[in-house]
Amino acid sequence: MTPFGRRVRELRQQRGLTLAQMAEGLGVTPAYLSALEHGKRGRPTFTLIQGAIHLLGIIWDEADELVRLADLSHPRVTVDTAGLDAEATLFANRLAREIGGLDAEDLRRMAGILDEVAARRDAGH
């Protein structure tokens, strides 16, 4: 499941919409919407994201969050390490091989490291 799919499913269920009802409102099939929620489809289109925002009746921060999650929700990621140190290539390949064995806490810890790197980069170091 992708972050976008998980959030859409949560919002849909909170509003009492069935998968079929939401799919109809978006002009897609229930099978497509289910695949999108479960991360078996790529990033949703801008039109679909805007339709979901409208259909779910969300505004401001929630709408911005949904757009952000859609951008981060491609289920098949490519990491280009061309021109980087060999350690970067080794790490990318190990992560691809081992990611299925990481639990939520492992993922949070690794995300924390990436947050620290981004903060250092943003601070100009």
Enclosing domain of residue 109: 86-122
The closest alpha carbon to 28, from 40, 45, 15, belongs to 45
Q: What is the pLDDT of residue 124?
A: 83
Q: 81 in a domain, yes or no?
A: no
Q: What is the pLDDT of residue 82?
A: 95
Question: CB–CB of 73/43 below 8 Å?
Answer: yes
Please indicate, yes or no, whether residues 63 and 92 belong to a single structural domain of this protein.
no
Q: 58 in a domain, yes or no?
A: yes
pTM over 0.85: no
Q: What is the pLDDT of residue 125?
A: 62
Q: What is the pLDDT along the chain (125 residues), one digit of tens a residue?
A: 888 999 999 999 999 999 999 999 999 999 999 999 998 888 899 999 999 999 999 999 999 999 999 988 887 788 999 999 999 999 999 999 999 999 999 999 999 999 999 999 999 86
Please indicate, yes or no, whether residues 9 and 54 belong to a single structural domain of this protein.
yes
Please indicate, yes or no, whether residues 63 and 95 belong to a single structural domain of this protein.
no
Please indicate, yes or no, whether residues 54 and 91 belong to a single structural domain of this protein.
no
Contacts of 25 (CB under 8 A, 6+ apart): 17, 51, 55
Please indicate, yes or no, whether residues 59 and 28 belong to a single structural domain of this protein.
yes
Radius of gyration of the chain (CA): 17
Domains contained in the chain, number: 2
Stated length of the chain: 125
Q: 27 in a domain, yes or no?
A: yes
Q: Which two tokens stand for residue 123?
A: 């601070």
